[in-house]
Amino acid sequence: MISWCAGILSSLLLLLAPLWAWAQQDGIFDEYRAMFGDDNPAVFVIDEGEELWFSKAGPNSTSLEGCDLGLGAGVVEGAYAQLPRYFADTDRVQDVESRLEHCMIELQGKTREEIHAKPYSLRGDLGTEMEALVAWLAEQSRGLAIAPGQAHPSERSSYELGEQLFYFRAGPHDFSCATCHGQSGKRIRLQSLPDLTAHEGAAEAYSSWPAYRISQGIVRTMGWRMRDCFRQQRMPELIMGSEAAVALQTYLAVNAAGATMAAPGLKR
Amino acid sequence: MTRMKTIKPLVLLCCFLINSALADEAAMLLKSSMADKNFVTLERVERDALQSFCSKPRSEEGDIETANALRESARAAVPMPTEDDFLGDWQRGEAVANNGRGLQYSDNPEQPNGGNCYACHQLDPDEVAYGTLGPSLTGYGARGQSLSMLEYTWIKLWNTHAYNVCSHMPRFGAAGILSEQQLKDVMAYLLDPRSPVNSGLSP
């Protein structure tokens, strides 16, 4: 039912395609976004995420209510904003996706294989469970300050590795994240590129993901954003919730710390 | 005073060792965090000497001797066309400059790679969708077609690090992104007076 609504919405958005081409021009996107007003189509996905959290699933027929996202079992309000952080039970720094994966395995009895089969939608899909859960959880941190953990040594080394990865140049094009996101006021074609090494750029970016992508009609997560930028970087596919995915998000979250979460955002 | 002198290199060496250990850890971690996809394999995580040297966070400085050695070896490996053979067809070059595809796992490996010049440079003044990571190349042809200009542009496109180590432009020739013919076509797109890149110049 919810996916069905989202389906209709994305078809409507397809009809807006000519408008879309026009909206690609810098600045005009803001007006285009304003047309949506407060109607971020992500609301449907958020509702779906909430439903998923409370429904019994997996071989254990258990809900995710017992999942500890860092603030105690079942506490969802403000949990997203303090990730990534160190978890003693897994002895790892985790982002929202790897933590959800942990709970799906431990509580619901799902397998790693099924969780990783398709964590992110392909173009034209109606959305995955992971995307819906992350959208809802992010919404539960809306208006709160970004405050990833940096007290534990593992959290600090995750940041340092994230920084190394940000500048890691490899692949046939020699790109690193810093190639495209290391200076302010730059753009690729018409897309403006935030300087993610500075607080301002990192804050604007980090606070607005997960986001509803108008051009794709899907909610995308920050984990997906990392994977897709690695694709543009001509690198292999980033594994959801992997150490590198977590380290990069730690780097971004710490650079953005103190800013206010405003996700799910709305992107082109 | 003399003690300070001996301590400083030691501290530097120590920092260098710590940082390169971190860099190795980053490479291992990246490899274990990625999976082969279509024709793109984990081999791409392996870095050559230039990539490793140019992966330092901004706070760290590379040493000048290594930079010079990398620049010289980049220059030495550039194959040079004969004087009358630098320029191909500007129209084909325009297509190469516009094409942003190639070598991503979502791309068709049967199709020729693009140069994606517009992602980073302004070229044809009538094209508004240009990026700004690199300088504007509009009117580039005003620099003329002297042999030294042809060579400079060719080397720059083949391996930009021959001039500017750690430049963020891809090594189009050295990394096998573009063929020699594609590069000659792009050269013509930059330098031919009939190319729209140079439409603003008086004939």
Q: Give the model confidence (pLDDT) of B145-175 as tens digits.
A: 999 999 999 999 999 999 999 999 999 999 9
Higher-confidence residue of A184 and A28: namely: A184
Residues of chain A with C-beta less than 8 angstroms from the C-beta of B130: 189
Q: Do A245 and B33 touch (CB under 8 A)?
A: yes
**Greater pLDDT, A43 or A113:** A113
Q: For position A1, what pLDDT does the model report? A: 36
What's residue A31's pLDDT? 59
Confidence of residue B59 (pLDDT cuts 50, 70, 90): low
Cα(A214)–Cα(B126) distance, rounded to whole angstroms?
28
Q: Which domains does chain A have, with CATH numbers?
A: 34-267 (1.10.760.10)
Residue appearing with tokens 């300088």: B135
Structure confidence at residue B128 as a pLDDT band (50, 70, 90): very high
CB-based contact, A161 to chain B, within 8 Å: yes
Q: Tell me the two tokens of residue A118.
A: 């398709």
Instruction: Report chain A residues whose CB lies below 8 A from the CB of B132.
Output: 185-187
Closest CA to A258 of A220, A206, A211: A206
Q: pLDDT class for A40, splitting at 50, 70, 90? A: confident
- Distance between CA B167 and CA B161 in Å, rounded? 6
Q: Which of A93, A154, A169, A175 to mutate to test the interface with B (most CBs of B within 10 A)?
A: A169
Of the candidates B33, B177, B132, which has an alpha carbon nearest to the alpha carbon of residue A98?
A: B33
- Measured distance CA(A11)–CA(A5) in Å, rounded: 10
Token pair listed for B7: 């301590």
Question: Once rounded to an integer, what is the mean pLDDT over residues B130-144?
Answer: 97
Residue B4 to residue B15: CA distance in whole angstroms: 16
Contacts with B171 from chain A: Cβ below 8 Å: 174
Burial class (CB in 10 A: 0-12, 13-18, 19+), B85: exposed
Quote the pLDDT of residue B14: 44
Q: Is B146 on the interface with A (CB under 8 A)?
A: no
Report, as an integer, the average pLDDT of B176-197: 98
Compute the mean pLDDT over every residue in chain A, rounded to the nearest whole number.
89
Domain made up of B83-158+170-198: CATH architecture: Orthogonal Bundle (1.10)
CB contact under 8 A, B44 and A172: yes
Q: Which of B64, B73, B26 is nearest to B46 (CA)?
A: B26
Amino acid residing at A262: A
Q: Which two tokens stand for residue B172?
A: 């189009």
Cβ proximity of B120 and B169 under 8 Å? yes
Burial class (CB in 10 A: 0-12, 13-18, 19+), B43: exposed
Whether the CB of A197 is below 8 Å from some CB of chain B: the reply is: yes
CA atoms of A67 and A65, how far apart (whole Å): 5
**B79 touching A, CB under 8 A?**
no
Q: How many CB atoms are closer than 10 A to CB B59?
A: 8
The pLDDT assigned to A39 comes to 72
A160 in contact with chain B, both atoms CB, cutoff 8 A: yes
Query: CB contact, 8 Å: B164 with chain A?
Result: no
| Average pLDDT of span B5-30 | 63
Alpha-carbon span A123 to A215, nearest angstrom: 10
pLDDT at residue number A30: 59
Do the Cβ atoms of A170 and B41 come within 8 Å? Answer: no
Q: Give A99's Cβ-side CA count (13 Å radius).
A: 30
On whether the CB atoms of residues A100 and A94 are closer than 8 A, the answer is no
Q: Of A54-58, B50-54, B62-66, which gets the smallest average pLDDT?
A: B62-66
- Decide: A62 and A108 in contact? Cβ < 8 Å: yes
- Map residue A85 onto helix, strand or coil: strand
Q: How confident is the model at residue B22 (pLDDT cuts 50, 70, 90)?
A: confident
* CB contact (8 A) between residue B44 and residue A244: no
* Closest Cβ opposite residue B29 in set A161, A171, A237: A161
Question: Given a cut of 60, is residue B182 above it in pLDDT?
Answer: yes
pLDDT confidence bin for B200, thresholds 50/70/90: confident
Residues of B with Cβ-Cβ distance to A230 under 8 angstroms: 34
pLDDT of residue B6: 45
How confident is the model at residue B21, as a pLDDT? 74
Phi, psi of A238 (to 5 degrees): -75, 135
pLDDT at B58: 74
Nearest CB partner across the interface for B104, out of A161, A186, A232 = A232
DSSP three-state, residue A220? strand
Q: Give the residue with greater pLDDT, A16 vs A96.
A: A96
CA pair distance B100, B120, nearest whole angstrom: 11
d(CA B172, CA B14): 36
Both tokens of A27, joined, read 């600045």
Crossing angle of helices A243-256 and A153-166, in 10° steps, is 100
What's the mean per-residue pLDDT of chain B? 90
Position with higher pLDDT, A10 vs B81: B81
Report yes or no: A28 at the B interface, CB cutoff 8 Å.
no
Contact state of B30 with A244 under an 8 Å Cβ cutoff: yes
Q: Is A236 on the interface with B (CB under 8 A)?
A: yes
Q: What is the pLDDT of residue A38?
A: 61
Distant-in-sequence, close-in-space partners of A18: CB < 8 Å, separation ≥ 6: none
Total length of chain B: 203
CB atoms within 10 A of CB B49: 11
pLDDT of residue A34: 61
Q: Which residue of B has its CA nearest to A180?
A: B133
pLDDT above 70 coverage of chain B, percent? 89
* Terminal alpha carbon distance of chain B: 65
What integer pLDDT is reported at residue A123 of this predicted model? 83
To the nearest whole angstrom, how far is the Cα of A181 from the nearest Cα of chain B? 10
Closest chain B residue to the Cα of A183, Cα to Cα: B133
Averaged pLDDT for residues B112-116: 98
Q: State residue A177's pLDDT score.
A: 98
The DSSP 8-state label assigned to residue B162 in this structure reads: G
Active site residue A103: no
Yes or no, beta carbons of B55 and A168 under 8 Å apart: yes
Between B88 and B21, the higher pLDDT residue: B88
Token digits for A63?
């809900």
